[in-house]
């Protein structure tokens, strides 16, 4: 920043200061969200603030202070790189969190994944029952048939599907 | 102006880093710790970028991109190999 700035320099310095402090406040907001939100999913919501908007604000401040046109494409590349990597890692963390049940189901308004998981579980149970039936066709047929019917019923009860 | 901005952002980022480190320390599950360390990396990146903006240089830009890459690889790797511990269900 220019010492004893006047005119345009002073205006740019004030804008830069506002951008920098806003970008730092994004980090503070993420930390407060990490401390106060109840489960992993809502903490993930807070954690993306400094990674995207905070980085954008401080990179814009750098671009304003350098005052060279060739800086902006480099800063844009740095920001787009962050924009490409953050959703992928957030997806992986969210998927692992759902699979290991790091969530409070009563806090979710909708759980669209639950129906998919249940349907896949029902299909897998039906396939396993069919395999058990075809693997041992003549030894203990009655028991295998019973297993298959149980598996199929369990799958259908959760599935609601037509494969009775 | 320069000193004021530096002091204010340093205080804010220190508080934010303290919160993230607290969540890393007590976070009930591994994924919470991964998330908090991601936030800590973002705070470090913000500090590097503020240094560049205030002192008008671009020396840290490569370090900033490398920090992004490290955070990405680290969190994806840890999330990929999180074990499903049946005894600790819903402890977040």
**pLDDT per residue over B61-76, tens digit each?**
999 999 999 989 988 8
Q: How far apart are CA A3 and CA A113, in angstroms?
A: 56
User: Between the CA of residue B7 and those of A145, B4, B12, what are the distances in Å?
Assistant: 75, 5, 9
Q: What is the pLDDT of residue A138?
A: 60
Instruction: Report the gap between the CA of B68 and the closest CA in chain A (Å).
Output: 6
**pLDDT tens digits, one per residue of B16-46:** 999 999 999 997 888 899 999 999 999 999 9
Which residue ranges make up each domain of chain A? 8-104, 112-159
Judge: B34–A16 Cβ closer than 8 Å, yes or no. Answer: no
The answer to whether B55 and B7 are in contact (CB under 8 A) is no
Task: Report whether pLDDT(B13) > 90.
Answer: yes
Q: What is the pLDDT of residue A110?
A: 78
Torsion of CA A27, A5, A73, A23, to 10 degrees: 10
Q: How far apart are CA A94 and CA B34, in angstroms?
A: 11
Per-residue pLDDT band at A139 (split at 50, 70, 90): low
Judge: B12–A30 Cβ closer than 8 Å, yes or no. Answer: no
Which residues does chain B have within 8 Å of residue A86's beta carbon, measured at their own beta carbons?
A: 72
Both tokens assigned to A131: 């395999």
Q: How far apart are CA B2 and CA A84, in angstroms?
A: 33
Q: How far apart are CA A22 and CA B19, in angstroms?
A: 18
Which residues does chain A have within 8 Å of residue B9's beta carbon, measured at their own beta carbons?
A: 20-21, 24
Per-residue pLDDT band at A156 (split at 50, 70, 90): very low
ipTM of this predicted structure: 0.85
Judge: A65–B90 Cβ closer than 8 Å, yes or no. Answer: no
Among A35, A47, A81, beta carbon nearest to B38? A47
């Amino acid at each position: 920043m220019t010492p004893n700035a006047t005119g345009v320099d002073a205006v740019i310095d004030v804008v830069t200061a506002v951008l920098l402090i806003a970008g730092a406040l994004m980090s503070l907001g993420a930390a407060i969200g990490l401390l106060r939100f109840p489960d992993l999913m809502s903490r993930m919501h807070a954690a993306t603030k400094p990674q995207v908007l905070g980085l954008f604000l401080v990179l814009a401040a750098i671009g304003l202070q350098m005052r060279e046109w060739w800086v902006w494409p480099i800063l844009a590349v740095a920001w787009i790189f962050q924009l490409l990597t953050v959703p992928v890692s957030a997806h992986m963390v969210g998927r692992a969190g759902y699979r290991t049940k790091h969530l409070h189901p009563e806090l979710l308004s909708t759980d669209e994944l639950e129906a998919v998981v249940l349907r896949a579980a029902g299909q897998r149970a039906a396939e396993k029952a069919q395999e058990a039936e075809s693997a041992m066709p003549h030894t203990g047929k009655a028991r295998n048939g019973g297993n298959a019917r149980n598996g199929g019923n369990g799958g259908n009860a959760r599935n609601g599907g037509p494969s009775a | 102006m320069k000193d004021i901005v530096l002091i204010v952002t340093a205080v804010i980022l220190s508080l934010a880093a303290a919160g993230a480190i607290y969540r890393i320390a007590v976070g009930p599950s591994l994924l919470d710790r991964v998330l908090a360390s991601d936030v800590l990396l973002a705070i470090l990146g913000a500090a590097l970028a503020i240094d560049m903006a205030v002192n008008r240089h671009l020396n840290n830009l490569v370090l900033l991109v490398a920090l992004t890459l490290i955070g990405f690889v680290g969190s994806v790797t840890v999330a990929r190999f999180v074990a499903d511990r049946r005894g600790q269900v819903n402890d977040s």
